[in-house]
Structure 1
Amino acid sequence: MNDGGLYFAKCGTIAENRYEMLIVRRIALEASRLRCARWTCSMKERVRNDTIFALSTAQGRAGVGIIRVSGPDATLCVHALSKQTNQSTIAPRIAEFRKLYHPITKEHLDDAVVLHFPEPKSFTGEDVIEFQVHGSPAVISGVLQALSTVPRCRIAEPGEFTERAFENQKMNLMQVEALADLLSAETESQRSQALRQLSGRIGETLEIWQKELIHCLAYTEAMIDFGDDEDDVTDASYTKMIERAKGLQSHMKKHLNDGRRGELLRNGIQVAIIGPPNAGKSSLLNHLAQRPAAIVSSIAGTTRDIVRVPLNLKGYAVILCDTAGIRETDDLIEKVGVTRARECADEADICVLMVDGQLYQTEWEDLSKSWTTNTIIVCNKSDLIDDESTLRKLQRSITSRTSIPAERVHLISCLNGSGIDALIEALGESVQAKVSSSGDASVITRERHRQHLEKCINYLQEFIDNPHQSEFAAEHLRRAVDGIGRILGRVDVEQVLDVIFEEFCIGK
């Protein structure tokens, strides 16, 4: 063989060796991944088999403290802490008086009321024990330390009780999020919405949609695999299924078109106070917040950045935003503040446009583009205008210039407080109007839900546009099912197989 042949032969051998090495490396990596996966699953299984405990009531001194225990050895904890060797059964859902002792030192810890909630009818779906003890830090610390000595018992991780409830299908992911919202609710509206979400109605709606999608997917899969062999998989029935998909998509779109009411209730409605310098914006913020949240000064341009104050307004969560005075300026820092003020106004759910009642004529040109349908106009310093007819004339003038109804134009005085109560009422009505239809339990409360539902609608549209390209159509439907599953926290491929084998006569 000549030198050229030897060269190419050697290159071929090197290439083959590299290819084999690449295959071996990939096999090794895959084996390592599987070992890690098995180890992770094994660890998770051991963690799930642990019995967990934690204080369920707030930290600190109280009349009663509740310590919750969940897991396969929950009842063992009662026997271990009450000197019972016969391990008699604990009556379910009946309060029992028990003296608690440390399992090792035998020290008397406290006298407690013990409740047993057997699986699966408990919060977590596991055996659950609740110790109701005296709420002093010393008693609670002693009982927790005693529980830690019981075999296979450990302190719970944050949220682990709810995680176990989710894993045992006692609640879906949306209900888990609703529970978190309920625990952090600060207003009546947030509490009501969280409870409605926790009831599971929106989850039931999504589960119905998911079942419909799974049915469509199963039919599409059947068309691919068995369309030529089975009489019950026909073009006519497939066409009907496409119409069902269109109707389902229509319901989803209607559900999305909610004005983000649920998210507004949960996150707070943003109210921006905008206007020229020295109009009294910071004074109004302090009046509404009932505290000196913003610096008030007669020097124009005092407020440079946005001051945000969370507020409970008529039972609704509101975020008040005091902004820099809007005007032309050469000051670079103030320019940034003016830009941020305009951006805040654009992003706000409600705008309060505030002007000086005496100077509004000269200030109007700069602010003439600042009002929208969500704007409330406030004329401050009404105490400096003595004539009542002048005040009414001012109100009519503003109404005619802006086409904003008279009830959305308010004359106030931050100095003596006149007109502020009426303004608060008007703000409350505007906030309520923003979320007026949110009595429906099926509103979307998180951006995560909205994004997955939008993806689901888009995949459905791709299926509707090309329903007869079977493999692609099935993939689009599969992703739509996955989108709903990700909202609920449940994605199961086996559901598709169940529908195929239960609803069709394939293999008869």
Structure 2
Amino acid sequence: MALPRALRVAGGRWARCLSSSAGVGGDTIFALSSAPGRCGVAVIRASGPGSRGALQTLTGTPKLPPPRILALRRIRDPDTAETLDRGLVVWFPGPRSFTGEDCAELHVHGGPAVVSGVLRALGRLPGLRPADPGEFTLRAFRRGKLDLTAAEGLGDLIRAETEAQRRQALRQMEGELGQLYQRWSDALTEALAHLEAYIDFSEDDNVEEEVLSRGQRPAAIVSPVAGTTRDVVEVALDIGGYPLVLSDTAGLRETTDLVEREGVARARDRLCQADLVLAVLDASAVPPKPAGLGAALGALQPPPGTPCVLVLNKADLLRGDGGPLRHGCAQRPPLPPTTLLSCKTGEGLDHLLELLARELARLCGDPLCGSPSLTQSRHSRHLGGCAAALARFGRERPRDLALAAEQLRLARRELGRITGHVGAEDVLDIIFRDFCVGK
């Protein structure tokens, strides 16, 4: 059968069937992507506009296998038509590839002679050159396939030696850390937009002054009258480094008021969904003995097996120092972790936060199962810069809104430097220079 014109033998040499777009959008790189040395299978990767033609030339056929499906092919030297190996090839048309470009992989036998022969053959094709260390990942970053934190996670995954390192690196490579930073950046962007809108338009009465206090706003109307809480009011908090959503509900009691009854029903429903129950009782209205406290807690009917912290509020109303009740709070079991609190004076708040942090640590377990950890010193440096800018924002805000807005921009820029979305050029070489060739 006659060979296609582009592949006909001429003077004992294979014609080079590179795509006419080889020079468009950058050059094409190639490298050994698996570990060097003798092995069962070696993976050689090419990325760029010339990868299609390179795969066609080395396999001696213009017909590529279906995208992302391995196919057995004879791999030939493009100059002599000599068979270098019989191996599996796979074609990844962009943008659905690791780098976002057209990519090709050759899975060949891992002997040094086979690998060097295929690499030499690729190097003789016009428009192809050996990849620099980390260049495949750099191209993936430039095409938006991953951000800098994910790229660093990939590097950490390659270097991981323990299970903990592997789990952390995999989560970072899959974008969890980048998503966390992006949420922070989005919050700063929104705050900056509100502040700049107030600076530009407040004189025309187009923007209300309340935009400056969003995020410090009261979560609900507070009243000393019993039964005024109806809806479930939620606020996000950071307790001891653990993120939580605190839901304030109506008091659990019998009532004939239809609206309050609906509030109690919603409170019961939220109680069943909670991972941790914060049971708040009136310290001046409960018996001081452990058995009496246990009975009062039981009347709230927390779900069986759900962790609970018992808070005895209104400690400021206790006679004397409330010694009997304080002694009763210290008796465990039968009581869950218990503390006295005065929302009026703030007494006991630190102890309550300590109890919550302890229960959250026990509930969440291994930090690797929670928010991803920092793995790079540059993350810490930029986060420190972000925190410093936010502190300056707090100092400038009462005096000069324009200077305060600039501090928000600086804080946002520091976060952007971590993910590569803002001002990343000065860190790219540092990130990718430590990658191995072929990644």
1:227 & 1:221 partners in 2: Cα distance? 10
The match for 1:62 among 30, 33, 39 is: 39
Whether contact under 8 Å (2:29, 2:47) holds in the other structure is yes
- 1:56-455 equivalences under 5 Å are 56-84=33-61, 87-229=62-204, 231=206, 233-240=207-214, 254=241, 436-455=366-385
Give 1:477's aligned residue. Answer: 408
1:52 is paired with a residue whose SS is strand
Residues 56-65 or 474-483, more deviating: 56-65
Letter in 1 for 2:391: Q
Task: Could you tell me which runs of 5 or more consecutive residues in structure 1 were left unpaired when the two chains were aligned.
Answer: 1-45, 257-434, 494-508
Deviation digits for residues 201-243 of structure 1 (CA, Å, limit 9, x no counterpart): 1211110110111111122222333333462x22112222666
1:228 is paired with a residue whose SS is helix
2:51 & 2:208 partners in 1: Cα distance? 55
2:149 & 2:375 partners in 1: Cα distance? 9
2:98 is paired with a residue whose SS is coil
Q: 1:96 to 1:437 in 2, by over 3 A?
A: closer
Whether contact under 8 Å (2:56, 2:64) holds in the other structure is no
Give 1:352's aligned residue. Answer: none
In the TM superposition, what is the alpha-carbon distance from 1:97 to its structure 2 partner?
1.6
Task: Could you tell me which runs of 5 or more consecutive residues in structure 2 were left unpaired when the two chains were aligned.
Answer: 1-22, 219-234, 244-364, 425-439
Whether contact under 8 Å (1:50, 1:153) holds in the other structure is yes
Letter in 2 for 1:68: R
Whether contact under 8 Å (1:67, 1:130) holds in the other structure is yes
Whether contact under 8 Å (1:81, 1:102) holds in the other structure is yes
Q: 1:125 to 1:243 in 2, by over 3 A?
A: farther
Is 1:53 equivalent to 2:30 in the alignment? yes
Is 1:486 equivalent to 2:424 in the alignment? no
Whether contact under 8 Å (1:97, 1:111) holds in the other structure is yes
The match for 2:392 among 438, 452, 462 is: 462
2:188 & 2:413 partners in 1: Cα distance? 10
1:216 & 1:254 partners in 2: Cα distance? 23
1:89 & 1:252 partners in 2: Cα distance? 56
RMSD across aligned positions (CA): 2.9
2:410 & 2:239 partners in 1: Cα distance? 15
2:106 & 2:371 partners in 1: Cα distance? 34
Whether contact under 8 Å (2:195, 2:211) holds in the other structure is no
Whether contact under 8 Å (2:149, 2:172) holds in the other structure is yes
In the TM superposition, what is the alpha-carbon distance from 1:255 to its structure 2 partner?
7.6
Deviation digits for residues 425-445 of structure 1 (CA, Å, limit 9, x no counterpart): xxxxxxxxxx95343242212
2:105 & 2:197 partners in 1: Cα distance? 51
Q: 1:83 to 1:208 in 2, by over 3 A?
A: same
Whether contact under 8 Å (2:99, 2:137) holds in the other structure is yes
Q: 1:127 to 1:242 in 2, by over 3 A?
A: farther
In the TM superposition, what is the alpha-carbon distance from 1:77 to its structure 2 partner?
0.7
Give 1:294's aligned residue. Answer: none
In the TM superposition, what is the alpha-carbon distance from 1:47 to its structure 2 partner?
10
Deviation digits for residues 410-464 of structure 1 (CA, Å, limit 9, x no counterpart): xxxxxxxxxxxxxxxxxxxxxxxxx953432422122221221122122112212
**% identical equivalent positions:** 42
2:128 & 2:236 partners in 1: Cα distance? 48
Whether contact under 8 Å (1:65, 1:140) holds in the other structure is yes
Residues 187-196 or 222-231, more deviating: 222-231
Q: 1:108 to 1:220 in 2, by over 3 A?
A: same
1:105 & 1:242 partners in 2: Cα distance? 74
1:491 is paired with a residue whose SS is coil
2:78 is paired with a residue whose SS is coil
Give 1:305's aligned residue. Answer: none
2:172 is paired with a residue whose SS is helix
1:170 is paired with a residue whose SS is coil
1:126 is paired with a residue whose SS is coil
TM-score normalized with structure 2 length? 0.55
1:465 is paired with a residue whose SS is helix
1:470 & 1:214 partners in 2: Cα distance? 15
2:152 & 2:242 partners in 1: Cα distance? 19
Q: 1:467 to 1:132 in 2, by over 3 A?
A: same
In the TM superposition, what is the alpha-carbon distance from 1:254 to its structure 2 partner?
4.0
In the TM superposition, what is the alpha-carbon distance from 1:83 to its structure 2 partner?
2.3
2:406 & 2:54 partners in 1: Cα distance? 50
Whether contact under 8 Å (1:181, 1:194) holds in the other structure is yes
1:204 & 1:239 partners in 2: Cα distance? 26
In the TM superposition, what is the alpha-carbon distance from 1:473 to its structure 2 partner?
0.9
In the TM superposition, what is the alpha-carbon distance from 1:123 to its structure 2 partner?
1.1
Whether contact under 8 Å (1:80, 1:150) holds in the other structure is no
Letter in 2 for 1:176: A
